[in-house]
Every structure is written in C-alpha cells, then in structure tokens.
C-alpha cells in the first residue's frame, strides 16, 4: 500500500492530507480483518450467518469493516480518539470506501491534483 500511495501516484489523485494517508493505511490494514478463507459466493450459497446478516450483499467486506470498527470503539484500542468528530467521519469514509468522503472531508475529484 505504501508503494502504491507514494510511488504509484494515488496520493496525488486523492489529495495528500495526513488524514487521507491515515485512512488509506487503515483501510489496507483492515481490508481482510477476520477473513474466513472463503468467498462471498460460498457464504451466500451455504446460508452462512454473515450472508444473512448482510442480506447477501458482500458479507465478507461488510464484516471486515464492521468488526474493525467494533475493535476501534474499545477504549484501549481506539487510537483515533484524538480526532475531532468531522475528522472521524472523514476517516471512516475513507476506510469504508465511500465516495461521499470527499465531500465531507473537503475533497473532490475536480480538486484532485493530476498524476
């Protein structure tokens, strides 16, 4: 992830604020958190609890983010506690891959620097 961000030009595309950097690294860290070693199709086909919990819509991806956010809500694990409320919204948007994070964080594709 570090190489993609720094040498692949991704930071120039999304903006180089420290908060965006943190969000990108955090997203990379949690993208497979608690992965079960099977794909979404298998979970859906076997009626797994995760598939039912997330209505068959990307159960593993939804679980990765949900489980990581639950972990971060534990006081001893919440290294983001020093962020302001708007910064936390931005951080969570980056981690969850929401396109709307750019609006909440003051970023837009139009304002991104060209590669």
pLDDT, tens digit, for every residue of 15-71?
667 777 788 888 888 888 999 999 999 999 999 999 999 999 999 999 998 999 899
Please indicate, yes or no, if residue 11 is contained in any of the structural domains. no
Q: How far apart are CA 76 and CA 12, in angstroms?
A: 34
In a domain, 4, yes or no: no
Query: Is 2 a domain residue?
Result: no
Comparison of pLDDT for 72 and 88, the residue scoring more: 72
Residue 1 has pLDDT above 70, yes or no: yes
Q: What is the pLDDT of residue 112?
A: 38
**CA distance linking residue 35 with residue 39, whole number of Å:** 9
Domain count of the fold of the chain: 1
Q: Has residue 6 been placed in a domain?
A: no
- pLDDT at site 76: 94
Q: Is residue 113 predicted with pLDDT exceeding 80?
A: no
Claim: this prediction has a pTM higher than 0.75? no
Alpha-carbon distances of 53 from 25, 29, 34, 71, 76, rounded to whole Å: 27, 23, 16, 18, 27
Q: Report the pLDDT value the prediction gives residue 27, as an integer from 0 to 100.
A: 82
Residue 8 falls inside a structural domain: no
Indicate whether 22 belongs to any domain: yes
Which residue range(s) make up the domain with 104? 17-111
d(CA 17, CA 19) in angstroms, rounded, equals 5
Residue 90 — very low, low, confident or very high, per pLDDT cuts 50/70/90?
low
| Residue 38 belongs to a domain | yes
């Amino acid at each position: 992830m570090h190489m993609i961000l720094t040498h692949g030009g991704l930071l120039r595309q999304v903006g180089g604020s420290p908060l965006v950097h943190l969000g990108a690294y955090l997203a990379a860290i949690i993208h497979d958190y608690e992965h079960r070693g099977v794909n979404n199709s298998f979970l859906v086909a076997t009626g797994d609890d995760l598939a039912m919990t997330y209505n068959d819509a990307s159960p593993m991806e939804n679980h990765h983010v949900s489980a990581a956010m639950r972990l971060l809500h534990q006081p001893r694990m919440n290294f983001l506690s020093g962020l302001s409320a708007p910064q936390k919204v931005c951080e969570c948007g980056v981690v969850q891959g929401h396109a709307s994070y750019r609006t909440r964080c003051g970023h837009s594709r139009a304002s991104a620097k060209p590669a």
